[in-house]
Amino acid sequence: METKALLYDLNTSYGLDLQEAPTMEALEALLAERINDMINKDFNALVQLLYRIDVNETRLRGVLRDNQASDSGQLIARLILERQWQKILTRREYGRKT
């Protein structure tokens, strides 16, 4: 995964306004912090974000259920980054053929 491409996409498409992150781990940590803030302060905004990004609800529930001792924000951030990367790759693939 490319950190800069993901950061650009998350900031421009979803208005997350995340800071520059030198590594994927740093980006995941920034996103996890934002997600945890949304869990505590604006859960509806988090649900809308997950819907817009198109995170698989069944997978999300399974990951949260199977990792109850883990940080929910971190788990959700990882799923968001994976889904967003899938979308970037799809755009790149179909962008070359046109």
Instruction: Label residue 97 by pLDDT band (50, 70, 90).
Output: low
pLDDT for 98 beyond 60:
no
How many angstroms separate the most distant Cα atoms in the chain? Answer: 46
The predicted pLDDT at position 95 comes to 85
At residue 69 the predicted structure's pLDDT band, cuts being 50, 70 and 90, is: very high
Report the distance separating Cα 46 and Cα 39, nearest Å: 7
Q: Are 55 and 80 in contact (CB under 8 A)?
A: yes
For 16-75, give the secondary structure using H, E and C.
Answer: CCCCCCCCHHHHHHHHHHHHHHHHHHCHHHHHHHHHHHCCCHHHHHHHHHHCCCCCHHHH
**Which of helix, strand or coil describes residue 2?**
coil
Q: What is the pLDDT of residues 11-61, one digit of tens each?
A: 999 999 999 999 999 999 999 999 999 999 999 999 999 999 999 999 999
Residue 1 binned pLDDT confidence (cut-offs 50, 70, 90):
confident
pTM of the model: 0.93
**In the chain, how many domains are there?**
1
State mean pLDDT over 3-16: 94
User: Where in the sequence is the domain holding 90, given as residue range(s)?
Assistant: 3-97
Distance CA 40, CA 47 (A): 12
